[in-house]
Chain A
Amino acid sequence: MKSKKNRYEWMIALRFLVKGKGQTLLIVLGIAVGVAVQFFLSSLIGGLQISLIDNTVGSAPHITILPADRAARAAAGAGSASDSGRALHEEWTEIHSWQPYVNDLKQDARVRRAAPVANGSGFIERGDSVVPVIVKGLTAPDGLDIYRIKEKTVAGIPELSSDSALLGRRLAERLTLAVGDKFFLRNDRGDQVFLRVGGIFDLGAAAGNELLVVAMDRVRSFFAMAGVSAIEVQVRDVFSAETIAREYGRQYRRVKLESWQEKNRELLTALSSQSSSSVTIQLFVIISISLGIASVLGIAAVQKQRQLGILKAIGTTNRSASRIFVIQGFLLGGVGSILGVAFGLLMAFGFVSGTNAAFGLKITAATLVTPVVLALLASIIASTIPARKAAKLSPIEVIRNG
């Protein structure tokens, strides 16, 4: 009933806007540009952040479970302890009963992958040079998948049979090894093992491309390990890693959990300051939209005084008169922001197809809807100023003064 009665307010608001073509067009364009900029900026920054985070943790563990002492020793900075505790070396630096941890973690729906790793360092002799290498013992498929080695293999086959080794691209280049070549790996006790290059991968990052990846059990026996060096975990929601790590840290007393966030504080600080600067820009865009609407509708309220006076004389209430302006604000904001999203999408497609940026845009419901909702709210709030003016106008002023 009431909404039916309001119909004429919409008709009048719409007609006022349509007849005020130039002004309406200008303010709609203003809102559209504001919304487009907001949308594009937040998609761009979102995309950039996704790619930064993906570079950091996309092909790396999100949580690393380490033997308890490692972190403690690192904190104490003790070098001599390792000398005196030679006999205890293994117990201090390895997780012996890793299987229960892995099983436990795999049952958590938030966890995507969990796999043990065995790390060691050795030497490869090639011609007359001896090259030190970091050896990573992984399991298939989870261990390999954490590093996305299958997707990143550039030559050969990413498989871990007993004598096959996967080499990082830089390492392979330095050693001039190609798929099928054979080489000796030595450890610091002088043992050596004969391996064949099964595949070469390119992880993009410099450190990753120096790795030598071998089947975990091979690494354990070669370095005479009783346990594993660490358990590596990937979770489904990258940002929940820290919480999950903290949660399990309370349960697992004999190991140490480290999330990627703890290791990458600086990156996270940079990202959050980037986000807040984008919020600041968006805030100013919103403020300028609001000011634009308030001033255009403010002028309109003065221009339409005569009409408002007539309407009031023949029965329009003060509340209706003010609603006519709020509706105008809503219409301006609505049309402007829809147009703005269209502009923004065009800009996004232009960006994606026209540039060779190393990252994409993050277009989500939130990046689309947020600027629209903000622009609508700003329009409605800004329109309350002329709306109040319209409510206050007395018909008699208009009628008396012609």
Chain B
Amino acid sequence: MADIVLRTRNLNKTYFGKVDTPVLFDVNIEIVRGAFTALIGPSGSGKSTLLNCLGLLDPQTSGEIDFDGRIIDAPDVNELAAFRNENIGFIFQFHYLLPEFSAYENVLLPFWIRQGRPAAEMEQEALRVMKRIGVAQFRDKAVSELSGGQQQRVAIARALVNRPKLIFADEPTGNLDRESGRSVLELMAELNRESNITLVMVTHDREVALQADHIYELVDGRICKYLDVAKTGKAEAARAIEDRSCTIKPPAGNGA
């Protein structure tokens, strides 16, 4: 039995407004601890929406998220903030760093929020992570003086520093040129391999998706395919992605 760190049960998300927009329909997925899971699908299929629900940033409309034993169904905003701080790291497409702070201070932010002043070993950990990621030399630079790729690396360091149970990345290279995009992705894959970090990444890039251990494909707010790359092998997975038809059918009575 695989060790599941996060699991959803019939997750639904509707945006309420002038027109109500249902986006996710009865999503059931499982994230294996220590694995790299890719989330793919056409634009507008609900990938970001799902990732934000899984990352406890956006409350689901119905259904349940089991986050490593903690059931999140009717979340309290402030409690979730503390929970996110300790358990989740985020890497977004637009590298969200605080421009008022240096690279190092940005990496320390999760510690600050958790306990005011980080302990000495936390500061050492921040430096170690920055070194590993290759941004130690920018330690005291203002983040606005860094290139896009460098900023994204700093954001990765910030996501990692807290040793979160899960790291969510939403098209982390979408805003980078090919070259630095490649190297950021290689870095993330390496980090996943070397320290068993659980990584959930939304990507448009099939090449990148095929590096993952597991792939979920979302179409029109429904899970359409699940691929266990380790089991089937990359070639088979690549072929399955090309195939248009869904292998996971919506539960009876819920069909479109």
Contact = CB atoms under 8 A, between A and B. Distances in A.
Interface in B108-144: 109-110, 112-117
Contacts, number: 78
Given A307-B98, A399-B92, A314 B57 contact: no
Nearest to B48: A400
A317 B81 contact: yes
B100 A310 contact: no
Interface in A304-341: 306-307, 309-320
Contacts of A316: 81, 113
Interface string B92-105: 11101111110000
Given A16-B100, A311-B98, A319 B78 contact: yes
A79 interface: no
Interface stretch (A5-13, A59-67, A240-248, A250-258): A5-13
B112 A8 contact: yes
Contacts of B190: none
B57 A7 contact: no
A89 interface: no
B57 A399 contact: yes
Contacts of A16: 100
Contact of A314 (B84, B101, B116): B84
A4 interface: yes
B117 A402 contact: no
Given A4-B117, A319-B78, A313 B93 contact: no
Interface string B63-105: 0000000000000011001101110001011101111110000
A310 B96 contact: yes
A306 B81 contact: no
B3 interface: no
Instruction: Give the interface size class of chain B.
Output: 20 to 34
Nearest to A315: B85
B158 interface: yes
B84 A315 contact: yes
A317 B101 CA distance: 20
Nearest to A10: B116
The dominant DSSP class at the A interface is helix
B100 A314 contact: no
A4 B57 contact: no
B236 interface: no
A312 B117 CA distance: 18
A314 B116 CA distance: 14
A313 B57 contact: yes
A307 B98 CA distance: 6
A19 interface: yes
Q: Which of B55, B109, B113, B114 has the most CB of A within 10 A?
A: B113
Contact of B58 (A15, A317, A396): A396
A315 B116 contact: no
Given A396-B57, A396-B58, A399-B57, A6 B81 contact: no
B52 interface: yes
A120 interface: no
Nearest to A19: B100
Interface residues of A, number: 30
A14 to B, nearest CB: 10
A292 interface: no
A58 to B, nearest CB: 57
Nearest to B106: A310
Contact of A15 (B78, B81, B101, B115): B101
Given A314-B110, A317-B81, A399 B96 contact: yes
A7 B93 contact: no
Interface string A361-402: 000000000000000000000000000000000011001101
B60 to A, nearest CB: 12
Contacts of B58: 396
Contact of B81 (A8, A12, A312, A402): A312
Contacts of A320: 113
Contact of A7 (B52, B100, B116): B116
Contacts of A8: 109, 112-113, 116-117
Q: Which of B81, B99, B158 has the most CB of A within 10 A?
A: B81
A16 B98 CA distance: 10
A313 B91 CA distance: 11
Nearest to A396: B58
Given A400-B48, A402-B93, A307 B100 contact: yes
Nearest to A18: B100
A381 B87 CA distance: 35
B57 A315 contact: no
Interface in A8-45: 8, 11-12, 15-16, 18-19
Q: Which of B86, B101, B112 has the most CB of A within 10 A?
A: B112
A392 B110 CA distance: 21
Contacts of B52: 396, 399-400
14 contacts: A8-B109, A8-B113, A12-B100, A15-B100, A15-B101, A19-B99, A313-B55, A313-B84, A313-B96, A314-B158, A315-B113, A316-B81, A318-B77, A318-B81
